[in-house]
Amino acid sequence: MKKILIGLSCILFAMDLAAQRSSALNASQWVDSVFNTLKPEEKIAQLMVVRSSTLKDGRPVLLDKEVEEAIRKYNIGGICIFQGGPIQHAQRINAYQQAAKTPILVTVDGEWGLGMRLDSVMPLPRQMILGATSQPGLLYEYGHLVGEQCKRLGVQVNFAPVVDINNNPRNPVINDRSFGEDKYKVSSYAIDYMKGMQDAGVMGCAKHFPGHGDVAVDSHYDLPVINKTRAELDSLELYPFREIFKAGVGSVMIAHLAIPAIDNTANRPTSISRKNVTDLLRNELGFQGLSFTDALEMQGVAKYYPDGEASLQSLIAGNDMLCLPGDIPGSIAKIKKAIRRKKLSWKDIDARVKKVLMAKYQYGLANWKPVELTNLTADLNKGLAAMRRRVAEQAITLLHNNNSAVYPLMPGSGKRVAYVGMGLSSDNMFASRMRKDYNAHVYYFDYSLDSTKADALLALMRHRYDVVVIGYHAYKRNPANNFGISPSAFHLANGLIGETNVVSLFFGNPYAVANQCSNKTLLACYDDDPITQETAADLLNGKFTAKGRLPVSVCAELPAGTGITQHRLLPDTYADNVGLDFQKLQAIDSVCLDAIDKKAIPGCVVLVARDGKIAYEKSFGTYAYTDPSPVYCETIYDLASVTKIMATTLSVMKLVDEGRLDIDKTLGDYLPWTKGSDKANLVVRDVLLHQAGLKAFIPFFRETITAADGSPDARFYAFRADSVFQVRVADNLYMRKDWTDTLYKRILQSELGPRGKYIYSDNDFIFLGKIVEAISGQSLDQFVQQQFYGPLNLRTTGFTPRKRFDKQYVAPTEDEPLFRKQLIQGDVHDPCAAMFGGVAGHAGLFSDAADLAVLAQLLLNKGTLNGIRFFQPATVDQFTAYGSDSSRRALGFDKPEKDNASRKEPYPCASASPETFGHTGFTGTCVWIDPRYNLTYIFLSNRVNNNGDPNRFLKMNVRPAVHDIIYGAIKSR
């Protein structure tokens, strides 16, 4: 290594000059110029890929003499990196590239990212857990992340994705490396993965051609045989390869398989079969990209073709590159001898060398730059934890739920809970969460324990618990010996299932679920890392809903596709299906993550819907910078002033539509208690437009706190509810019921400004909420629930969420310093609305993003949704059009500034059309609806809970920035 690194600065200077010269050459010129420098032996060596590891016998090594010799002496074409550290590999790659006469094609077998091979880098989930997901675009993002990793390390080719269909549960080598058993899912998921990776600048490689999924022998150790007809292969195994070839994958890897229907020569693997590589792959399927053999050191080929013979036969078959050929000089000698005997031609060799050189040019090796070592490990780990969590959230599969009293298992329910950790001998993340969430008793049952120990534990636990949760951990991914799960473990589980309520979770290969298919409450979690365990714990206690579906059949009761999921009125779709550029929408991620990084918000949810379908829905961050609870798309947020449109204005529209409310009448016509005040003659239309002259807000709470330290005054508040103190304003804080009348009195006494002048006012909507209640005879929360939220099956939307949910499901809004002096979580943040008991016309509504998207679509549909007409179209048009000469306001709704294009700070963003309507909320929320593009944009956050400057969020223009990205993603405007 020292010899390679000597004179590094001189080498880099020379390479810079070479790069300047090569950048002036086009692809064919560069290929020809490099090709013309190659000696005959070097041409053959250019088709070889050798192993590069920074470990030997598990220990770090500074120098790999074999690789150095292969580069210096033979001028090999590529290396494949294996185990070791990222810094060490980067140093090796730099040194090898600098020493090489011809740029080296760096490859890696990184199906689940570089963490599959490198220490210090987190591995991503395997393909089978990805096959359980169904979120459009997730596989593209996964592939793009893997591509960015590879590119950062100087890798040009990743031997992924696996496009084998795993239609044999006993498959010892592919198994959970496959997306599943459905050929259509395998094809589409592999294509998305490949496109993401290749768009990041790294060549994908479809493997293992012609299909390695239906084998019972590991080709690392022997030659598997697949006895299928050609028609069967065409209909199943070959289907994903055809599709990914058409989609533009850059390369393919050829498997070591014996398939008599393709080539019936005894012991001839497909990797070295001309009938497979040339006749089927090239001529029949038309694939002209690079072909790599699977590793030629594997016994599936080396057992029958040793000592360089496999290399020769691979080239005769029609392959381009030979992976891990072993004996380089012996292989070169055999290949030259075969050329002399006319078994191969230099013309064929030359064509393949030029193809390899073209790939090197296309993936940047004509202008190679050394891998930057600074922050390399951190860069390679960037975004991996978030991706793991997203995959787990989308994949964990609820297979059975025949006891809704058990699942979801709500914390604080008072149930006696036990956790049995199969395969454990100490707490893992899930066991710790069981203790924390349910005060559960935790028992370990290692797979080495026998049935006597199982019977003893069963006797100890009998009749002690209301619910027993069983987690299967630390079992093998290989199906041999029932994945290593002991019979005694299942004996214990069956005994518990027969006596009490049991929830079973399998943290690993889903095929293991076959052992417990009849469990009443059963979940497949697919992986056993801490992130998946924590996500499963959140799912168990109901923080989000299950979304996964089995990618494979595990038993007759649980075929592929099984999964209990929540029906949503607005379906998910791939962004491009509704005319939105998926890749451009991904810029939203950067805006949100930057806002979190700069402490403008601790977390958020963004949803984009178009044409009645959800095209983008993601959660970011945590509940607070001091609270690691992750935000999910189902996280409930305090909507603040979005209440004005999604509760009060909808209610007013309904009453107007039914002829029960005339907005050209006055407050006094509907609220008798206003008569005698200067508020009685205010016209409802002006109130809706914020131009009735009412004060912006009244800080009611100030006269109910002590002068000494601003704490709630005992004359007005108590720590417990009773017949006098009944109005909940926060945890353990209740206001005198009779003080509510004082609030209305203060509004009536408040100073009134000139009519017609726009002053945004909460008081306007307090009055409107009371009008709804006066006309309907119901409280505002009851009216909206009956008229809208119930008929639309909205799960989270409503006032006073603590009556329906534990506070853990609600993002904390603020550790409030002025009034209630506590963390506000699940109680309304607005002090005035809190003093009205959490139900008011201006604030108090809580929801998640998907529910809000349904309400937005109702308005986009001009009043009709789910087969129900809520308003006439004319009513929607009336309320969402500009309604004032003096402001941008519509009736209840906010709108873009009328001169938006000429403003320095356009509102809500520069691109919003004049038809747009919606609202923003103080807590960091917004809903914007644009009929011109049939578009909904929702942003939910708790920006006042950022442990820093609460206005940083506004200064960074986070909501407008996201909004403009959405418009920029519209393909045709």
The set of catalytic residues is 220, 294
- Cα(4)–Cα(99) distance, integer angstroms: 6
- Rg value, the chain, Cα: 33
- Measured in residues, the chain has a length of 973
Token pair, residue 601, equals: 């918000």
Cα three-residue angle 952-958-962, rounded to 5 degrees: 175
SS3 107: strand
Q: Which residues contact 569 (CB under 8 A, 6 or more apart)?
A: 792, 793, 854, 857, 865, 866
Residues 384, 157 contacting (CB under 8 angstroms) = no
DSSP string, 595-618: HHHTTS-SEEEEEEEETTEEEEEE
- Cα(584)–Cα(582) distance, integer angstroms: 6
φ and ψ at residue 705, rounded to 5 degrees: -120, 160
Residues 92, 64 contacting (CB under 8 angstroms) = yes
- Cα(98)–Cα(105) distance, integer angstroms: 13
φ and ψ at residue 313, rounded to 5 degrees: -65, -30
Token pair, residue 452, equals: 């006597």
CA nearest to 630, candidates 720, 711, 697, 534? 534
Helix ranges (H only) for 261-308 are 274, 299-302
- Cα(847)–Cα(409) distance, integer angstroms: 21
- Cα(277)–Cα(257) distance, integer angstroms: 12
Helix ranges (H only) for 83-166 are 86-99, 127-131, 138-153
Token pair, residue 794, equals: 């909205």
Q: Is 662 exposed, middle or buried (0-12, 13-18, 19+ CB in 10 A)?
A: middle
Q: Using the 8-state DSSP alphabet, how is residue 957 labeled? A: T
- Cα(223)–Cα(5) distance, integer angstroms: 42
- Cα(311)–Cα(332) distance, integer angstroms: 9
How many alpha carbons fall within 13 Å on the CB side of residue 488?
16
Residues 194, 244 contacting (CB under 8 angstroms) = yes
How many alpha carbons fall within 13 Å on the CB side of residue 57?
0
Annotate 640-695 with three-state secondary structure. HHHHHHHHHHHHHHHHHHCCCCCCCCEHHHHCHHHCCCCCCCCEHHHHHCCCCCCC
**Partners of residue 203 on adjacent β-strands:** 157
Token pair, residue 20, equals: 């300047």
- Cα(923)–Cα(345) distance, integer angstroms: 72
- Cα(417)–Cα(14) distance, integer angstroms: 69
